[in-house]
Amino acid sequence: MQFENTYSNLPEHFFRRTRPVSVANPTLICCNHKLIEELNLKLDLTEPEKVAKIFSGNIILDGSDPIALAYAGHQFGNFVPQLGDGRAVLLGEVLDANNARWDIQLKGSGPTLFSRNGDGRAALGPVIREYILSESMHALGVATSRSLAAVTTGENVFRETVEPGAILTRVASSHIRVGTFQYYLAKNDFNAIKLLADYAINRLYPDARKAKNPYLELLRQICDRQASLIASWMHLGFIHGVMNTDNMAISGETIDYGPCAFLDNYNPDAVFSSIDSMGRYAFGNQAKIAQWNLARLAECILPLLHPDEKKAIALATDIIETFDGVYDDYYLGGMRRKFGFLSNKPKDKSIIDELLDLMQRFGVDYTLVMRGLCSAVKTSSDITELSDKFSNAIEFEDWVRRWRDRLQLGSIDPNEIIRSMKSINPVFIPRNHLIENVIQSAVGDNDFKLFQDLLLALSNPFEDNKDFMSFKLPPKSNEIVHQTYCGT
């Protein structure tokens, strides 16, 4: 790998130089051949032992300048002035064939100066969870960090029980978080904030440089990408679970997969994370929380927006307040496509909301119903299997009549609608109970076959694949996962 190190060329207080701590017996679970190709990495994969050493930090390749990044963050609303990478190390950056720059980071590679009392390690379960989730989200079309490799370490880590240790290699267009800006606000270090904002513009938002007020434009574009990101989560039923400001990347990628989950039954109040007892990060709260986090970012860059603080606040407030509208447009745009509406009509929102309401009231599986609708477009199609899922089938069938009216089947080819709907309503999502099964067989039996099968099914989520019928189904009542854990 040809590393470049633009972040470690920033001033020393942006990070701490940190060598990954070697592990006893690194063994490759898997590496992501497609991503290796996309990133144009010249890795010799013929020697898995050597690859495992690279992706565990036992070998540091020439050109890598490993660092742990400094950041702060609001955790569940409480400000913590110093968090930082406590169990992650950035090996460096690589450029792909299009000259796009990517961070290559090890997660679980040993203590850093930010570890506080943590061990800097990761357990196999959470590594598997993040690998599957991030690759599935990518295949579903969501902006996300990627997973390049996973290895077991041959060492144990101590959590609630003793668990096998593992290391994930993560790829993202950068790891700058809202909390990275907050780290310097807490220190009143506005030179650092300006440096960071300039770095972010150069690396992630180069267009902003052309605007009259580049920093205001930076804020606007970050808000836009975040609105689009949260909308895509809502379209799929994804709950991040810990939207602390340190877990929000300003690139607009989903990062830090911890106690995240996918909805089975549609429910805006759904909370899975064991640590979210107040439901701050409930499914239906995610847009509001993103906006709150963005307001924290805006606070950090106020002096860059205008020398007069009052004017700076007015400019920032304007942008933060437009978030709602921007988000609504992304959300409704995507939902229209999911429902097969190929044009915009004023009553679309109410038709969409009526079905979501029915799903919530009757406790119906979101992904299954949305995919099922693709086969219910034509008036001749049999919808009994679908309506049987609603304990009041009459209400659902009545809704279907109104929905079909709206589809304007007289003037639009139903096959075109079906094609479009099938390209956006997935068959396969990383359901919580499937992930649990994969983790159990990997951790309990050292068996990674189910992991590989699930990854394969999820890599093509919009295509019905008869080989993986069981992965389509919602959990049976004894399989339902009610709580997820961050496992840190």
Our answer to whether residue 264 is catalytic in this structure is no
- Give the range of 28-36, 116-124, 168-176, 434-442 binding ligand AMP by CB under 6 A: 116-124
**Which residue matches tokens 């690279």?**
54
From 346, 350, 334, 339, select the one nearest 417 (Cα to Cα). Answer: 339
Looking at 53, 74, 87, 146, which residue binds ligand AMP (CB under 6 A)?
87
Q: Which of residues 121 and 235 has its CB atom nearest to ligand AMP in the complex?
A: 121
Binding mask 456-475 for ligand AMP (x = CB under 6 A): --------------------
**Which residue matches tokens 């006893």?**
24
Looking at 48, 63, 81, 118, which residue binds ligand AMP (CB under 6 A)?
118
The reply on whether position 57 binds ligand AMP by CB under 6 A is no
373 Cβ contact partners less than 8 Å away, ≥ 6 residues apart = 339, 340, 386, 403, 421, 425
Q: Which of residues 155 and 398 has its CB atom nearest to ligand AMP in the complex?
A: 155
d(CA 445, CA 440): 7
Largest CA distance in the chain: 67
The reply on whether position 179 binds ligand AMP by CB under 6 A is no
Catalytic pick from 85, 246, 264, 365?
Answer: 246
Provide the residue count of the chain: 488
What is the 8-class DSSP label of residue 279?
-
d(CA 194, CA 184): 10
The reply on whether position 256 binds ligand AMP by CB under 6 A is yes
Q: Which of residues 178 and 335 has its CB atom nearest to Mg ion in the complex?
A: 178
What is the 8-class DSSP label of residue 283?
G
Looking at 84, 92, 252, 340, which residue binds ligand AMP (CB under 6 A)?
84
Task: State the residues that interact with Mg ion by CB under 5 A.
Answer: 247, 256
Q: Are 286 and 235 in contact (CB under 8 A)?
A: no
The reply on whether position 85 binds ligand AMP by CB under 6 A is yes
Q: Which of residues 138 and 170 has its CB atom nearest to Mg ion in the complex?
A: 170
Residue 212, CA atoms < 13 Å, CB-side half-sphere? 1
**CB-CB neighbours of 387 under 10 Å:** 18
- Give the range of 6-14, 110-118, 332-340, 353-361 binding ligand AMP by CB under 6 A: 110-118
Interaction site with ligand AMP (CB under 6 A): 83-87, 114-115, 118-121, 242, 246-247, 256, 258, 486, 488
Which residues are catalytic, by number? 246
